[in-house]
Amino acid sequence: MNTMLTLRFDGTHYHGWQPQKEFATVCGTVKAALEKTLGRTVTLHGCGRTDAGVHAEVYAANFRGECSIPHERLPFAINSRLPRDIAVLSAKPVPDDFHAINSCMRKQYTYRVYTSRMRDPLREGRALHWPRPLDIGRMRGAARDFTGTHDFACVRTMGTPVKSTVRTLYAFDIEETGGLVEFTMRANGFLYNMARALAGTLLWVSEGKVADIPALIASGDRAAAGPVLPAHGLYMTGVWYA
């Protein structure tokens, strides 16, 4: 049997999804709770790596093997053993060849920035504080230039080895509501720090520090793009399977 879990978590106190011996991770925490629930060792596959401090409104994982608890009851059983900043939302059987990351067709990340002269304690750890207004129109124009299939080397931080830096960005939307600006990016995959660097580049566009996005993409020059923004403003907000 192959089971898919959907999860939601606040990444503030975790060193990302990927298991690490020295640090608490989301995968390690969920795996421990799942193993206590099922009474056996489990290999848990996530739909992607998330950096330390990154949150998820939607995240998918799967594990194989017998599950003695009905799927509709499994989330409640696991959640009783999880800390309050992680929750399993659902569990369902999936085909044997399903794999949370290898079967994933698209992912979506949203980066949140709140623009205010004063910092907001209720948004600390949830969105980046930017003390000046942002030029939404200019940033939307830059976001359109990023959309499509490109070599995104200019917004990649060296980290996990990849065969290619070419990705397809299906949508890059910017919405503003009450001073909260959301950069939502949907792609067939993201390079290391790509989402945070895309959002940082649009902030640089608003500040007039980056002007020509097609030229930036063609150059592949990471130093010419904007900064990698802090992790606490980033959320995984969507994942798609066939």
Q: What is the pLDDT along the chain (242 residues), one digit of tens a residue?
A: 999 999 999 999 999 998 888 899 999 999 999 999 999 999 999 999 899 999 999 999 999 999 989 999 999 999 999 999 999 999 999 999 999 999 999 999 999 999 999 999 999 999 999 999 999 999 999 999 999 999 999 999 877 778 899 999 999 999 999 999 999 999 999 999 999 999 999 999 999 999 999 999 999 999 999 999 999 999 999 999 98
- Please identify which of the residues 51, 135, 145, 151 carries the catalytic annotation: 51
If we measure between CA atoms, which residue out of 115, 101, 120 comes closest to residue 236?
101
pLDDT of residue 161: 77
**How far apart are the C-alpha atoms of 12 and 107, rounded to whole Å?**
21
Question: Are both 30 and 148 inside the same structural domain?
Answer: no
pLDDT of residue 214: 97
Is residue 101 in some structural domain?
Answer: no
**How far apart are the C-alpha atoms of 199 and 201, rounded to whole Å?**
5
Question: Are both 173 and 71 inside the same structural domain?
Answer: no
Question: Are both 58 and 20 inside the same structural domain?
Answer: yes
CATH number where 64 lies: 3.30.70.580
CATH number where 218 lies: 3.30.70.660
pLDDT of residue 53: 95
pLDDT of residue 158: 79
Pairing, β 2-9 against β 86-94: antiparallel
Question: Are both 119 and 226 inside the same structural domain?
Answer: yes
Domain range for residue 66? 2-94
Considering 70, 94, 118, which residue would you say is the last residue of a domain?
A: 94
Active site annotation includes 51: yes
Residues in the chain: 242
Is residue 100 in some structural domain?
Answer: no
Q: What is the DSSP string of the chain?
A: -EEEEEEEE-GGGSS-SS--SSS--HHHHHHHHHHHHHTS----EESS---TT-EEEEEEEEEES---S-TTTHHHHHHTTS-TTEEEEEEEEE-TT--TTTTEEEEEEEEEEEE-SS--GGGTTTSEEE-S---HHHHHHHHHHH-EEEE-GGG--S-S--S--EEEEEEEEEEEETTEEEEEEEES---TTHHHHHHHHHHHHHTTS---HHHHHHHT-GGGS-----GGGEEEEEEEE-
Is residue 126 in some structural domain?
Answer: yes
Question: Are both 72 and 159 inside the same structural domain?
Answer: no
pLDDT of residue 46: 97
Question: Are both 89 and 131 inside the same structural domain?
Answer: no
Question: Are both 6 and 121 inside the same structural domain?
Answer: no
Question: Are both 13 and 112 inside the same structural domain?
Answer: no
Q: What is the pTM of this model?
A: 0.95
**How far apart are the C-alpha atoms of 144 and 91, rounded to whole Å?**
37
Contact call for residues 132 and 151 (beta carbons, < 8 A): no
Question: Are both 138 and 229 inside the same structural domain?
Answer: yes
Question: Are both 139 and 180 inside the same structural domain?
Answer: yes
pLDDT of residue 111: 98
Question: Are both 85 and 162 inside the same structural domain?
Answer: no
Q: Exposed, middle or buried by CB within 10 Å (0-12, 13-18, 19+), for 50? A: buried
Considering 38, 73, 94, which residue would you say is the last residue of a domain?
A: 94
Q: How many domains does the chain have?
A: 2
Question: Are both 162 and 225 inside the same structural domain?
Answer: yes
Contact call for residues 198 and 144 (beta carbons, < 8 A): no
